[in-house]
């Protein structure tokens, strides 16, 4: 909530977190990697725009065999946030991209299950 208050005062999402003594992104993917390993899932196609998430999962032993981009149309309300994610955090965001990707409708497939 304090980060949102700073954003309301003009800080971008990265600077708000840093001003509060946090890293840019405090998320930890070790539990997710452990769950995937426990389920014997050999590889995943990850829906993300965050290359750091892919790197962290791979460092934790999860094979990321593909990335499905999250297509988020920019609006007057979220453009600054999305641009900050792209320029400051390296997120792979296509601002003038397709409104919807067909593969986002694909069913979830887990090998070895029916």
Whether 27 is catalytic: yes
Q: Is 25 annotated in the active site?
A: yes
Q: Which of 58, 65, 51 is nearest to 111 (CA)?
A: 65
**Whole-angstrom distance, CA of residue 93 vs CA of residue 83:** 8
Longest dimension (CA), the chain: 51
Catalytic residue among 2, 8, 15, 25: 25
Active-site entry in 27, 55, 79, 88: 27
**Residue whose C-alpha is closest to residue 23's, from 89, 73, 107, 80:** 89
Catalytic site positions: 25, 27
């Amino acid at each position: 909530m304090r980060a949102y208050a700073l954003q309301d005062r003009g800080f971008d999402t990265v600077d708000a977190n840093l001003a509060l003594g946090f890293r840019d992104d405090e998320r930890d993917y070790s539990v997710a990697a452990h769950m995937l390993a426990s389920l014997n899932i050999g590889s995943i196609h990850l829906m993300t725009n965050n290359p750091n998430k892919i790197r962290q999962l791979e460092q934790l032993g999860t094979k990321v065999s593909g990335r499905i981009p999250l297509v988020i149309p920019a609006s007057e309300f979220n453009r600054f946030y999305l641009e900050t994610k792209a320029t400051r955090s390296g997120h792979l965001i296509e601002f003038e991209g397709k409104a919807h990707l067909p593969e986002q409708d694909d069913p979830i497939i887990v090998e070895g299950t029916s």
